[in-house]
Structure 1
Amino acid sequence: MIQLHSPILREIGALSRTIHAISDVKLKEHHLQKGQFIFLTRICENPGISLIQLSILLKVDKTTTTKAIQKLIGKGYAMKENHETDKRVYSLSPTEKGLEIYNAVIEEENKNIQICFQDFTEKERVLVYELVKKMRENIDTSWCELKKY
C-alpha cells in the first residue's frame, strides 16, 4: 500500500472547510449562501475584474463563478457591465450594498485569523504565510494547465 508523504494538505483542507463553515453560518444574516463571500470580497478588492480573472484568482471553474455572480447580482451586491473595449467580456464591480457587506465579511475573516494565529509569534505568522503562499504558487501551474488557462 502506498503511504501518504505528508498530512499537510489534509490539515490545510480541514482548516479551509472549518473557516468556510463558520463564515457561512455567521454571514447567513447578510443572505450570503455557501461560499459566496469569497466571490464578493474579491470583487470588492478588484473592481472591474472579469469572470475569467475571478475564476483564476479563486481557483474555481467558470460555471461556479457564473452561478455565484448571478446570485450576488440578484441580491444587489454586485453588478456586471460589458467591458469597455471587448463587449464579449463582463467587468464585475461591487454595489454600495456589496461594499457594506464586504466590511462584515472582513470583520469575520479578521476574527478567524485572530483565532487561527492564537499563541503564534509574529515571526511564526509571517513564516506560515510565506510557506503556504509558496505551496500555492508551486501548484498554480498545474491548476492552470488542468483548466486550460
Structure 2
Amino acid sequence: MEEIIRQIGHIYRSLEFISNTEFKSMGLGNNLYAYLVRIVEQPGIIAGQLAIEMRADKTTVSRSIKKLIAMQFIEVRYETDNKKEKHLFATEAGAVQYQHIIAEHQYSDRQLIAGLEPNEIATLKRLLHQLDVNSYDEWQSVRNGKERNYD
C-alpha cells in the first residue's frame, strides 16, 4: 500500500521541480505559480478559501499573497462593508503569466497520460478525485487539531 503514496510523491516532486525551475525566471518559483493559477481561475477568492484550495496554512498563504502583490501579479480589493475581507484578483501582468503557466500544465498533462487509452484516463480521473476527497478529509481533520489513529 505504501507504494501508492511513494509513486504519488514521485510524480508530485517531479512536476513541482519542473514547474519551479521553469517559472523561477518569472519570479514564480517556490509554488507561487500555483497560487496565481487559483487566483486567476477564481477571481475574488479570499485568503481563507485559497488556503483550503492549496491545502496550506494561512501564514504560508499570506506570505505568498504578499509576494504576488509585490510583483504586481495580483491585487487586493476590500468589501465596502467589511475591510477585513480581502478579495484577490489577478492584474493584467498576472493574467499574462497565467497563460504561460497553463500552457506548461497542459503540456505536462499530455506527457503524463501519454500511452493511456480514453477509458483508462477516465478511470484515472475518477480514482484521483476519490484520493483527493480522502486526503482532504484527513487534512481537514489534522488541521483542526485531531490526532490520527494509525491502528
Kindly indicate whether the alpha-carbon contact (under 8 Å) linking 2:47 and 2:62 is maintained by their aligned counterparts in 1: yes
The answer on 1:111 being equivalent to 2:85 is no
The answer on 1:88 being equivalent to 2:84 is yes
Gapped runs of 5+ residues in structure 1? none
TM-score (norm 1): 0.91
Root-mean-square deviation (Å)? 1.4
Superposition deviation, residue 110 in structure 1: 0.8
- d(CA) in 1 for partners of 2:89 and 2:144? 25
- Percentage identity across paired residues of the two chains: 27
4+ residue stretches of structure 1 with deviation over 3 A? none
Superposition deviation, residue 6 in structure 1: 3.5
Amino acid across the alignment from 1:8: I
Superposition deviation, residue 99 in structure 1: 0.3
Taking a change above 3 Å as real, the CA distance of residues 90 and 113 of structure 1, as seen in their structure-2 partners, is: same
Kindly indicate whether the alpha-carbon contact (under 8 Å) linking 2:19 and 2:29 is maintained by their aligned counterparts in 1: no
Gapped runs of 5+ residues in structure 2? 146-151
1:3-14 equivalences in 2 (<5 Å): 5-14=1-10
Amino acid across the alignment from 2:34: I
Query: What SS class does the counterpart of residue 120 from structure 1 fall into?
Result: coil
1:92-139: CA deviation from partner (whole Å, max 9, x where unpaired): 110000000000000001111111111111111111111011011122
TM-score (norm 2): 0.90
Query: What SS class does the counterpart of residue 86 from structure 1 fall into?
Result: coil
The answer on 1:41 being equivalent to 2:18 is no
* Higher relative contact order, chain-length normalized (CA < 8 Å, sep 6+): 1
The answer on 1:25 being equivalent to 2:16 is no
- d(CA) in 2 for partners of 1:130 and 1:139? 14
